[in-house]
Amino acid sequence: MRKVLGENHRRAVLIDKIKGVIYGHAIGDAIGLATEFLDKNAYKVYYPDGFSDYSQMVMDRHRSRWKPGEWTDDTDQMLCILKSIVEKKEVEPKAIAKRIFDWAYGGGKGIGRTVYGVISSPSFLFEPHETAQRIWISSGKKAAANGAVMRTSVLGVWNYNDFDEVKKNAEIAAKVTHFDPRCVASAVAVSLAIAQLLGGETDIDSIFSFVQKEVDQIDAQAKDYLYMARLSGLSAFQLDAKDSIGYTYKAMGAGFWALTQNDFKKAILEIVRECGDADTNAAVAGGLLGAKVGFKRLPSDWMKGLRNKTVLDRHIERLLDIVE
């Protein structure tokens, strides 16, 4: 009986953390939309009394494409990966490519430049990795946008108890559209941290050390941003710096900074106030911090205001059916 009770408790904790990842990601995305593409000076104009709830969102030309409390492309693409995993029971690049392609050409909103450039290539559906590599090479190997790290959280859930698989899967999914090693390293870092949290690791320093070692094999720059996240304040990332708001290591850095925090709402709002690509930064942070604090400790008012929860619940249930 004691063994059964222990197993039931372990499963309940795991489910709470998995729901925390998916809901944390979506909530961060939806709340971060409020300051996406703004800088901190514009924030003061848009929100002179501060911002803390979907209902306060200024519905300008960009934000009015969504309703307050609605998630954006960061979560849509994460769900593309989730649905592909549920269907295939593995991380299969062509299946993910097809899901992203169908979403994009079925009315998907907020598609980034890198993703659009790759999916619009005639070869994308047949050889996504090769297509993404060609696009990356043609860009001078300079493009390192955050479109892979923004959708990677679910890859820390699938096969969470096998870190080699998590690492491999995060790389496979990232390279569907983002071939740059920096994009791969940031996606691997976030996915591995989530997997460690789901596996029961509670020592944040241990998580940082493990992740730094793993991503250093992919791109040595990654560890510098992880050090910043652990030792510096969020402002060190200059998230609203005009020329680099979409840099993948900024999103990763914001996420790992959030991992050092304990209050979900306070951490996400601090990221939102830093502006820049705030929905992506907050989505990455929300997935990581959601894995740490769990679903039950997510802000109740933000949960209540989040749209399309029945859709999210349905996908989570299907994912839970195949996660041991």
Segment 98-121, tens digit of pLDDT: 999 999 999 999 999 999 999 999
Tell me: the pLDDT tens digits for 297-314? Answer: 999 999 999 999 999 999
Whole-number Å distance between alpha carbons of 36 and 58: 11
> Residue 86 contacts by C-beta under 8 Å, 6 or more apart in sequence?
315, 318, 319, 321, 322
Q: Has residue 4 got a pLDDT over 80?
A: no
**Domain range for 64:** 2-322
CA distance from start to end of the chain: 20
Query: pLDDT class for 5, splitting at 50, 70, 90?
Result: low
Query: pLDDT class for 7, splitting at 50, 70, 90?
Result: confident
Here the CATH number for the domain that contains residue 78 is 1.10.4080.10
Nearest CA among 147, 156, 151 for reference residue 180: 147
How many domains, in total, are found in the chain?
Answer: 1
Residue 276, beta-bridge partner list: 38
pTM strictly above 0.95: yes
Whole-number Å distance between alpha carbons of 107 and 121: 18
Q: Has residue 192 got a pLDDT over 80?
A: yes
Whole-number Å distance between alpha carbons of 130 and 97: 12
Three-class SS state of 1: coil
Q: Can you say whether residue 253 is alpha, beta or left, with left for phi > 0 and alpha for psi between -120 and 50 degrees?
A: alpha
